[in-house]
Chain A
Amino acid sequence: MKRFDDEDLVAHYLHELAPQKASELESAMQTDPALAARYEAYTTMLRAYKANAATLVVDEAVMARNWKAMRPALAGARVGPSMLSRWRYPALAGAGLALAATAIFMSTRPHEGGRPTPAAAVQESGGPGLSATTTENALAGGVSMGAPSDDLAMAERRYAQERGRASRHFTHPLTAAPRDLPGDLPQALRLRTGLPLNTAYAAAPHFIPLASMSLPEPPTQSGYPDMFGPAGTAQTTASRRRSKSGHVRTGIHHEYPADLTFAMGGTLIGTREASGPGTEVRTLGATHAVTALAAFHQQLRPAVGYRIAVSYSRPDFQYALRDATTNSGQRDINGRMYELAATYVVQGPHHGALSTSVEAGGGMMALLPTLSSAETSYNLRGVAVVGVAAEVALTKHLGIHLGYRAQVFKGPDFQYSGTDKSIVGTTFFSNEPMAGIIYRFHPK
């Protein structure tokens, strides 16, 4: 005969037993008095509990007492803000990204009041030998600096060529393109800057878009005045440097100072444990999830750049509790992670079409439960971000972005009252390997 344990008896009483097994149990009880007695003991006990519970009715006095106790608390409680749409945080992140990028972009534009003095500009551009008077005279073609007149004419033509090339290609915000300069260049600069004619005009080469145009090689043979030599040499060596193998190293970020990245990857969050009271151990982990990332990056100098990134992911956060006697299972909260972070970017080694960078910074992370619930709500967490990236230029605009980001943040509790604070207060690490495409502005 088939044996039935106590759980079968209870399940039958609660109508949780499968129909076939239920009928087998009923048949068995008819032939087995002991089994029937066990079943009767359970049913009697459960009926007793239920009969007692069925008589509970809330007294009016109890109701009144509770309303009286609750009234001050309810009057002082603030009703939470209405839950906005799920696009709230992406929209805020996008707006913040656009605002920050615009602010930084605008703050780096040259303006008349903030334009550096010519001397400083010359020094800054690495041109110790650039003479304002020399430049003006050379450009004006009026005074020879000891060079033959043919060489001077050649220099003028060369300048005109460079000016034309720059006008066609250059749009860098840090400089003033020659095409913007009026015909009467010396006079216009003098009027606009308030500087003496010679000095003001000397600033013109500094604002020529050296970073995005090919410049003449230093005049080692021609002997004509070195109009572009100092600044041009500095930039050229920064952006075009031959490697040991003979390849031309190209400072991609330097030549393409701004880009947009769209990448997909994974969010891999480690599991953390925390000891609770007694033998309790609480763990919090998360499932692996796909992550989407969009970022704007601008490299002002090889060692000075920034990236503003927004990312989105949907991991399940898993809270579990166990002690010496029980494993009480776990609660899963399906969450959405939005991140807005700003990082400082330093350009790393680059070779040919390959460029690298490292970044570090911080931002904010919003963690929301996917399903709205009365018991759960969102968390805002500060997040520290570090990362490395490698980019391979495919065309003048597009490239492949490969990156790795690590995030450090405090675990979320989704404002769920049942979540133990000892575990959500611990620090979590999230690993984000990424791959995507990069779009560069200002093609060469």
Chain B
Amino acid sequence: MERHLAMVLRMTLRVTGNVEDAEEAAQEAFLQAYKKLSRFREDAAFGTWVYRIAMNCSLNLLKRRARNVTWNAESLDEAPGSQHAVSPQMTPEAALLDAEAQLERERAMSFLTPKERTAFVLRHLEEQPVDVIADALGISANSARQVVFRAITKLRRTLAPSGAGVDATVAPTHFLKESR
């Protein structure tokens, strides 16, 4: 269960973009999975099953947040000094630039719709196949593909003027810990 929770938390954080929502979505996913345990079929891996539930929970949470304009959960990425680990190999200046670039990238993500963000994260970061994303979003595979393309194009347009995101040197996010 622990490795499933870790996997789910990673995904929910990437989709939601902040720790509070990530944990809420993950917990809701496990609770739903527990309640529907009798429907779990042995022919599917439990991890895949709970992961798919978590995808839906994350997307639904994003939609709720998008509607609730009063919600003001602070993204971890908006406080780079406290939330980002500084790689010991980086100079302080490089670390600062990297944190700023990462902040820009996360800000660009905030311009995506919940569906675009979810599709982008699941396809590019989680490397999920298009049909899984389509199922999570409740759309056809072709539509899911278009949503991913649209999200990436939108990110590029948002980041292009400042040039953020060009530097691929990044430091790990520390909602979690460094993997090295």
**Which residues of A come within 8 Å of B, CB atoms?**
6-7, 10-11, 14, 16, 41-42, 44-59, 62-63, 65-67, 69-70, 73-74, 77-83, 277-278, 319, 326, 328-331, 372-375, 377, 417-418
A79 and B153 form a contact (CB under 8 A): no
Min CB distance, B44 to chain A, in Å?
Answer: 9
Task: Tell me how many residues of B have a C-beta within 8 Å of chain A.
Answer: 70
* A47 surroundings in chain B (CB, below 8 A): 168
Say which residue of B53, B57, B156 sits within 8 Å of A41 (CB atoms). Answer: B156
Q: Which residue of A lies closest to B13 (CB)?
A: A56
- Whether B155 lies near A16 (C-beta < 8 A) is no
Interface class of chain B by DSSP? helix
Q: A49-B165, A57-B178 are in contact. Are A329 and B36 (CB under 8 A)?
A: no
Indicate which residue in A10, A62, A66, A81 contacts B152 across the interface (CB closer than 8 Å): A10
**C-alpha gap A330/B39 in the complex (Å):** 25
Contact B56 A375 (CB under 8 A): yes
On whether the beta carbons of B172 and A56 are closer than 8 Å, the reply is yes
The verdict on B2 contacting chain A, using a C-beta distance below 8 Å, is yes
The answer to whether B170 touches A45, judged by C-beta atoms less than 8 angstroms apart, is no
Pull 18 A–B residue pairs with CB atoms less than 8 Å apart, ordered by A: A45-B159, A45-B166, A46-B152, A49-B105, A49-B155, A57-B178, A59-B175, A59-B177, A63-B2, A63-B6, A77-B31, A278-B67, A319-B138, A326-B113, A331-B138, A331-B139, A374-B49, A418-B138
B residues near A51, Cβ cutoff 8 Å: 168-170
Q: How far is the CB of A267 from chain B (nearest CB, A)?
A: 23
Q: Contact between A330 and B138 (Cβ–Cβ < 8 Å)?
A: yes
Partner of B38, one of A41, A56, A82, A319: A82
Residues of chain B touching chain A, judged by Cβ–Cβ distance below 8 Å, are: 2, 5-6, 9-10, 13-14, 19, 23, 26-27, 30-41, 49, 52-53, 56-57, 59-60, 63, 67, 101-102, 105, 113, 115, 123-125, 130, 137-140, 143, 145, 148-149, 152-153, 155-156, 159-160, 165-173, 175-180
- Are A56 and B168 in contact, CB atoms less than 8 angstroms apart? no
Contact between chains at A55 and B152 (CB < 8 Å): no
Question: B34 near A77 (CB under 8 angstroms)?
Answer: yes
Closest to B153 in A: A6
Query: Contacts A6-B153, A44-B168, A63-B5 hold; do A56 and B10 have CB atoms under 8 A apart?
Result: yes
Q: Contacts A48-B101, A372-B39, A374-B32 given: A418-B179 contact, CB under 8 Å?
A: no
10 closest cross-chain pairs (CB), A and B? A55-B172, A331-B138, A329-B139, A58-B6, A45-B165, A82-B38, A52-B170, A53-B125, A57-B179, A7-B149
Q: Are B14 and A56 neighbours in the complex by a CB distance under 8 Å?
A: yes
Contacts of A50 in B (CB 8 A): 124-125
A62 contacts B138, CB within 8 Å? no
Nearest Cβ distance between residue B149 and chain A, in whole angstroms?
5
B153 to chain A: which residues have CB within 8 Å? 6-7, 10
Min C-beta distance of A252 to chain B, whole Å: 49
